[in-house]
Amino acid sequence: MISSLSVIGFGFALLVLQTALATLVPMHSFAPNLMLPIAIFLGVSPQVPLVRGASICFVLGYFLDAFCGNPMGLQTFVLVASVMVARGAGLRLFPQGRAFQLLLTFLMALLSGITVVALRAIFEEQQIPGLGEDLGERSMTLLRSSLATAVVSPLLFAGTRRAEGGSLPKAEERAASAA
């Protein structure tokens, strides 16, 4: 229970920090989704039960919706789905290397962004233009945001591991215990 509250507190602090930083430094299309690496970490960690990971991501997604002014439930749905996709894929190779972590985070951020755009196109009135000249700009924004999310993900994985109370073994510790 305390580690869940710690992860939620860590995510909330990240949202506050990103909001404060965005008032000083315009990030626009380079704004990372700081909650997605937390969701991926909780999804691939064998020590975190699926229900607990999904519950944490539900709260973090709700906070993200409130901070971003999104329709309530949009990021909540996407974060909970991300935990389930990461768990369902059975990605136990995730802790094996930083390059794999970056690649997985980049791909999940792309998938998450595409999902958000698709859900907005389906459920909102035509505020988002359809396929047309704006498609290239939206694609570049999605790529930039996904890249920014991947770049900051190692720091967020380490922070989430620490918020979990260090109860999750690091790759070096698992390798040493396996030998």
| 99 pLDDT higher than 90 | no
Instruction: Provide, rounded to the nearest whole percent, the portion of the chain with pLDDT above 70.
Output: 83
Split into its structural domains, the chain has a count of 1
Mean pLDDT, residues 108-132 taken together? 75
In a domain, 177, yes or no: no
Query: pTM of the entire structure?
Result: 0.79
| 171 pLDDT higher than 60 | no
In a domain, 55, yes or no: yes
Give the domain extent around 114.
Answer: 2-167
* pLDDT at res. 80: 92
- Flag the least confident range among 43-52, 73-82, 135-144: 135-144
In a domain, 173, yes or no: no
In a domain, 174, yes or no: no
* pLDDT at res. 163: 87
| 27 pLDDT higher than 60 | yes
In angstroms, the CA 175 to CA 179 distance is 6
Mean pLDDT, residues 156-175 taken together? 67
In a domain, 58, yes or no: yes
Which tens digit of pLDDT belongs to each residue from 30-68?
A: 788 889 899 988 888 888 888 999 999 999 999 988 888
Q: In this predicted model, which residue has the larger pLDDT, 135 or 116?
A: 116
In a domain, 11, yes or no: yes
pLDDT band of 95, cuts 50, 70, 90:
low
CATH of the domain at 112: 1.10.1760
In a domain, 21, yes or no: yes
Q: How far is CA 148 from CA 7, 28, 32, 175, in A?
A: 21, 11, 5, 30
In a domain, 30, yes or no: yes
